[in-house]
Amino acid sequence: MNIFQKAWYRTYQKTIYAVSPFLAWRQPKLLDLEGGIKDLPKFIKEQGFGSVMLVTDPMLMKLGMPQPIIDGCEQVGLKLSVFADVIPNPTIDIVEQALQIYKDGACECIIALGGGSSMDCAKAVGARVARPDKTIPQMKGILKVGKKLPTLVAIPTTAGTGSETTLAAVITNSQTHEKYAINDHALIPEYALLDATLTVGLPPHITSTTGIDALTHAVEAYIGKGNTKQTKEMAEKAVKLIFDNLVTAYNDGKNLQARENMLKGAYYAGAAFTRAYVGYVHAIAHTLGGFYHTPHGLANSVILPHVLEWYGDSIYKKLAKLADIVGITGESDEEKSKKFIQAIKDMNAAMNIPEKFDAVIKEEDIPLMVERAYAEAHPLYPVPKFMSKEELGNMYRKLMA
């Protein structure tokens, strides 16, 4: 990467940073309902809506998790349409199927129940409703929606993606295997409902990878060059909550306090990165999701320590501050930074997350993945230090078992 490219990327990022305070930033209104999701239909009815769509996935339907919402809608006379076919890494086709359900039910409001995939699908449906003149690929990138979405209530069932706070919807094109984000302030949900009881039954491997996903959001936001005072504070809160509670939640899934703290951590991390952005960990992870359907949380969990090590001394000072916050000591910023990265590796190992990808990445796919990761990261992501295409290729190879 030559000096002119670097200068252009930094100029672009500084322009975004300068304009950012004038944009329509907001956080979802956190709903504090006594009965949790049981009381949500009543709340929606009181807002004047007569018809609502629930977006969720087959596994949650099988577990009966949406049932309190379904029963509540019937009790209060709220017409409900259900789309329960969300898949991991939702595709354009899935979004279009959900959109048809929304139209058929003459819906006015959307409830997203699930992990990041359900929320991304619901946001994309809302974007298509708001902009029927645009396809999903036409809304790829920044500020391509520009109109108010139907009211969206986001209910996370994992403590990871932070999608309930963000302006992004990540969608996969199943034809090209491309995975990209729609970024627009209109996509930030109107309401978020954090109910720790919904995460109690999560399998340990989902608890672990979604938890490190949230940590990745907080760390990438914190070490980047797009921070504000508020995003720094939220990222620090998130890192502390995750370090203190993730392994506990993994080992004791019924520990409600740990589950609640992880939901808060994911929420803070989401609020931090939706304004401060992410970095190369996400750019690489998105390509693995697009090519191999690698779950996003798992991809981030494996990639994070490798990319942090690559950044080297460009992030020592910031990682040292995070080390202080979680109680890691050392004689220098470099020592504390390296201990912080090792602590992430130790957490991964304690939760059976592999160090590399076993038989996933194919050498012949690397050139195209490099092109796509590079295009995603540049010029938008305010990373601490730039990777060239050659260095990105070497990172993919380093991730191969």
DSSP track, 241-263: HHHHHHHHHHH-TT-HHHHHHHH
Whether 248 and 340 map to the same domain: the answer is yes
**Least confident piece of the model among 23-32, 252-261, 293-302:** 23-32
pLDDT value, residue 201: 84
Among candidate residues 217, 157, 160, 165, the one with its CA nearest the CA of residue 191: 165
Mark which of 146, 176, 199 sits at the end of a domain.
199
Please, which pLDDT band fits residue 53 given cuts at 50, 70 and 90? very high
120 burial type by CB count under 10 A (0-12 exposed, 13-18 middle, 19+ buried): buried
- Would you state the torsion angle of the CA atoms of residues 140, 145, 150, 152, taken in this order, to the nearest 10 degrees? 50
Tell me the per-residue pLDDT of 195-221, one tens digit each, with 9 for 90 and over: 999 999 889 999 999 999 999 999 999
* Domain end (from 199, 219, 252): 199
The total domain count for the chain is 2
Residues 116 and 244 in one domain: no
Same domain? For 352 and 243 the reply is yes
For residue 29, report the phi and psi dihedrals to the nearest 5 degrees: -75, 120
- Check whether residue 301 and residue 370 sit in a common domain: yes
CA pair distance 183, 181, nearest whole angstrom:
6
pLDDT at residue 401 greater than cutoff 80? no
Q: What are the residues facing 170 on neighbouring strands?
A: 181
Residue 394 falls inside a structural domain:
yes
Element (H, E) at 278: none
Residue range of the domain that includes 337: 3-17+203-399
Model pLDDT for residues 157-191, shown as the tens digit of each residue: 999 989 999 999 999 998 888 888 899 999 999 99
What is the value of pTM for the model shown?
0.91
Encode pLDDT of 68-83 as tens digits. 999 999 999 999 999 9
**pLDDT score of 194 more than 80:** yes
**Residue 71 belongs to domain with CATH number:** 3.40.50.1970
In a domain, 293, yes or no: yes
CATH number at residue 292: 1.20.1090.10
Domain assignment of residue 22, yes or no: no
Task: Say what the pLDDT of residue 358 is.
Answer: 82
Please tell me whether residues 140 and 183 are part of one structural domain. Answer: yes
Question: Between β-strands 178-183 and 168-173, what pairing exists: parallel, antiparallel or unpaired?
Answer: antiparallel
Same domain as 224, residue 263: yes
pLDDT digits (tens, 9 = 90+) for 80-115: 999 999 998 899 999 999 999 999 999 999 999 999
DSSP state of 57: -
pLDDT at 180: 84
Q: For residue 204, what pLDDT is reported?
A: 96
Task: Give the integer Cα–Cα distance in Å for 173 and 273.
Answer: 24
Question: How far are the Cα atoms of 206, 271, 329, 337, 370 from residue 332, in angstroms, in the given order?
Answer: 35, 30, 9, 8, 35
In a domain, 24, yes or no: no
Are residues 123 and 157 both part of a single domain? yes
Residue keyed to tokens 């990777």 = 387
Give the mean pLDDT of 234-256: 97
pLDDT at 110: 98
Q: The tokens 């036409």 sit on which residue?
A: 138
Buried b (16+ CB within 10 A) or exposed e, 331-369: eebeebbbbbbebbbebbeebebeeebeebbeeebbeeb
Cis preceding-peptide flag for 66 (omega within 30 of 0): no
The SS3 assignment for 112 reads strand
- Same domain for 117 and 236: no
| pLDDT (average), residues 325-341 | 98
The tokens describing 209, both together, are: 């990878």
Q: Are residues 243 and 332 in the same domain?
A: yes
Mean pLDDT of the chain: 95
